[in-house]
Structure formats: structure tokens, C-alpha cells
Amino acid sequence: MTSVTYFDTVQRDFCDVVITEEGIDTATFLEATEGVIKLFDLLGSSAFNVVQKDMTGNVNKIRTRYEVDRIKHNTLENLVICEQKEKKRTATEGLLWLKRGLEFTSVALRRSINETTEELSVSFTNAYGVTLKQFHSYLIRPVFALAMKACPYRVEFFKKLGDDQARVNEQYERWLAALERIVAKLNYFYEQGGHDKGF
């Protein structure tokens, strides 16, 4: 019998997020993102509550907008474009910050795969330095620095992902690569359209 891993328990895998010519499917993206938020529970520190709370708040902003018109807001890109036409930006700003949070997470987790002897506290601290730190005020930075230091040892974290480490590593790599593709697509969208100007 195959042992269950963390990736088996998420409602939606990033590999399953639908991407079409119109963009990234809103509903499946939100479901997959909720799996990332739950991943922080495995880090086992209340210091990460601030990260989870921030990401959850941004998911809620996007979902609220999506529920207004699921057809018009079928993709993240369409949702932002529709909101811009109405001179609104609540969901647009929520997506921008969520994108930044997902990029931080993906960079940290990529380091944890590539640097097999590096502890998570180092991976997350370095990821924070090249992603979120530039957008945070001097009041917020110490809160995140505390969270980074509270990371568990990498061996403990990987054990929490599942007993079958070969299967964990295979699923982790596939899941993370899919997350990285989505982050890259969102970065391109914001850069090309200038949708993050003024935030």
C-alpha cells in the first residue's frame, strides 16, 4: 500500500491548474493556493501565522471578485482587466501580493531541493531577501525575519511531507515546477501590462 504524502491531501495540485490562451483559471488557482497556505502548518511555528493570514486575505479578495461574475472572471488575467475597467483594484492588489508571496515560497522551496544540506531557515531567509523584503516596511521585516528563524530542521520538514521520501521528492518537484510556471506567467502579465504600477 502506498503511503500518503502531504501532496496527496491537497484539494488541488498546481499541476492541475488549468492554463489556456485566456490565462490562468481562477477557480483551480485558488484551490491550489489554499494547499500552499496549509503547507506552512508543516513548518510548525506560530511565527508563520502572519504569512498564512496575509495569503488567506489575498485569496479572499480574489475569490470575492471572482464570485461576482465567474464567467467574466474565469481567468486571473480577465479578472484584473475587468476590475481595471471599473477603476477598482482590490482583487488586483490582492493578486499582486499573493503572487509575491507565492514567489517567495517557490524560491525558498526550490532552494530546499537544490541545496540538499541547507537548513530551511537559510533557504527561507535567502528567499525573503530576494523576493518580499523589498516590498516590506522596516516595521514588517523583523516579523518575517522571526518567522524565517523559526523554520524546523529540513529533515523534520521532509518527514512531515511523507514517509516515502522517494515519492515525496517526485511529487514535490512536479508540484513546485508547476507553481514556478504559474508565478512566471503572473510576473509576465504584471510586467507587460503594468498592472502593479502604483502598488
Q: Is 81 in contact with 93 (CB distance < 8 Å)? A: no
Q: Half-sphere exposure of 20 toward its Cβ, with a 13 Å CA cutoff?
A: 10
Q: Is the pLDDT score of 14 beyond 80?
A: yes
pLDDT, tens digit (0-9, with 9 covering 90-100), for 121-139: 999 999 998 998 888 888 8
The stretch 173-183 carries a mean pLDDT of: 97
Terminal-to-terminal C-alpha distance of the chain: 50
| pLDDT of res. 142 | 86
For the residues 98-115, what does the mean pLDDT come to? 94
Which helix (DSSP H) or strand (DSSP E) does residue 91 occupy? helix 90-114
Prediction pTM value: 0.90
- pLDDT (tens digit per residue) in 44-74: 767 678 889 999 999 999 999 999 999 999 9
The span from the CA of 191 to the CA of 187, in Å, is 6
Please, which pLDDT band fits residue 196 given cuts at 50, 70 and 90? very low
